[in-house]
Structure 1
């Protein structure tokens, strides 16, 4: 089996059905669905509804939590249950292309059965943004992470566009942290133990993802980087990867994170975030520009502009807070 799709939900709603249907519409049926109900079923009638709703679907594993556990617990349960070669987490309301599995198989066949540990692909955003998540890495290139470090600098700051080799997660016992939205910590911990990385060379985005205001602290995205950097110190890889990890951190901090927060239309939050980012980066800027290997190699023109004109960039953001 090629893919285990993981879907968690709290209510039987139209957007859950839309997500589920996008999986069922696959042109290649070499997959399973792990559906986790993260709610307390208050009576037998609700359980009957649940059973009737999903009973006729083949290749589905349904889990009903006795109470609300949160996304991390649901995802960890799914890792234990997954039988697919790869595991893919889909958020409620997001949808995948009908050719998702087919395209994945076609791309992997190009590498003559060589094992790929972590895979990314293009995603189309909707909601707060209509941007396409793309990459500055070489698409279709199988990176050997023992000597090619660019993916450490350039993987995207989201869980949505990733496929993880299931056996790798199980061998190392990778789990999400409960009650904390540290998606990037999970991705980087996995990346730290992988040998091969691939960004799929597909013509169109393989998934449509809703980007909305987070239900947790918006500072989680940047605060988790302390844990990421400490993790690489613990596994003895920080020295070799320092420039690439710091590149990823600063790009997340002053570019991706602030870009996201600007869409919240919250003046106080914008001011706090811009001040926080400036305090963390301003003193490191000159050394970063001159000596960071990943920055000197990058093809990300927009990020280069932000770093080069950082004071003006922060001033423009601060204007939104007035």
Structure 2
């Protein structure tokens, strides 16, 4: 079995059916579905829906929590249950390309069954943005993470456009932290122990990701970075990866995070976030521009513009808070 699709069911009324159907519509069904109901199903209607899923769908595993546990607990349960070669965490409301499995198989066949620990792919955003999550990495190249460090700089902030080798997750006991949004920490911990990484050379997006206002603290995305950097110090890999990790940290905070914050249209939040970014980066900007290997190598022209014109960029952002 190639893929274990993990889907957390948090609300009967919200587009669980569309997401689930997009998996069922696969042109190649070499997969399993792990569906976790993160709520007590008290009504007969809700129970009948869960029974329908269980009896009508082959290769499905259903877990019904006795109370709301949160996404982290659900994902951790799914890791224990997964039998697919790769595991993929899907957010409710996202839509999987009907050729996801067949395109994945076709691409992996090019590599003569080489072991690839982390896969990433192009994703189309919907909702608050219509951008594509793409990459500056060389598509179709298997990166040896022991001496090719670019993926540490360019890994996207989304969990939804990645496939993780299931055996690797189980071997190292990787788990998500409870109660806070630590999905990026999870991805980087896996990357820190992985040997190989590949951004799939598939032109069409393999998934539509529905970008909405987050239900958790918006600061969780940047607060993860203290834990990410400390993790690499603990495993003794920080020194060679320092520039690449710092590049990812500053790009996440200054570019991606602040871009997301603007979508909230909340003046107080914009002001707090902008001042947070200024405090964390302003004194380090000159050294980062002159000495950071990943920044000196990057082809991300927009990020370079932001860093070089940091003062003006932040002033324009703060104007939105007035």
Task: Report the TM range for the smaller structure's normalisation.
Answer: over 0.9
TM-aligned CA deviation for residue 66 of structure 1:
1.0
C-alpha distance in structure 2 between counterparts of 1:46 and 1:313, whole Å: 49
Task: Name the counterpart of 2:8.
Answer: 8
C-alpha distance in structure 1 between counterparts of 2:53 and 2:143, whole Å: 42
> For each residue in 1:37-95, what CA deviation from the matched residue of structure 2 results, as whole angstroms up to 9, or x when unmatched?
11112255532332024421001011111111110000000000000000001111101
TM-aligned CA deviation for residue 147 of structure 1:
0.8
> For each residue in 1:196-219, what CA deviation from the matched residue of structure 2 results, as whole angstroms up to 9, or x when unmatched?
000011111110011111101000
Contact 2:54-2:61 at 8 Å conserved across structures: no
Task: Name the counterpart of 1:48.
Answer: 48
TM-aligned CA deviation for residue 22 of structure 1:
0.3
C-alpha distance in structure 2 between counterparts of 1:8 and 1:150, whole Å: 32
TM-aligned CA deviation for residue 12 of structure 1:
2.5
TM-score by length of 1: 0.98
Aligned residues: 322
Task: Name the counterpart of 2:32.
Answer: 32
Matches within 5 A, 1:107-146: 107-146=107-146
1:139 alignment partner, SS class: coil
> Are 2:156 and 1:194 equivalent residues in the alignment?
no
Matches within 5 A, 1:169-180: 169-180=169-180
C-alpha distance in structure 1 between counterparts of 2:190 and 2:296, whole Å: 26
Task: Name the counterpart of 2:232.
Answer: 232
C-alpha distance in structure 2 between counterparts of 1:42 and 1:15, whole Å: 20
Task: Name the counterpart of 2:245.
Answer: 245
Task: Name the counterpart of 1:208.
Answer: 208
2:193 alignment partner, SS class: coil
C-alpha distance in structure 1 between counterparts of 2:32 and 2:261, whole Å: 36
C-alpha distance in structure 2 between counterparts of 1:68 and 1:40, whole Å: 7
Matches within 5 A, 1:269-284: 269-284=269-284
C-alpha distance in structure 1 between counterparts of 2:60 and 2:312, whole Å: 53
Segments of 5+ residues of structure 1 without an aligned counterpart are none
C-alpha distance in structure 2 between counterparts of 1:182 and 1:11, whole Å: 22
C-alpha distance in structure 2 between counterparts of 1:5 and 1:53, whole Å: 15
TM-score by length of 2: 0.98
C-alpha distance in structure 1 between counterparts of 2:211 and 2:46, whole Å: 30
1:78 alignment partner, SS class: helix
Segments of 5+ residues of structure 2 without an aligned counterpart are none
Give the RMSD, CA atoms, in angstroms: 0.9
C-alpha distance in structure 2 between counterparts of 1:45 and 1:305, whole Å: 54
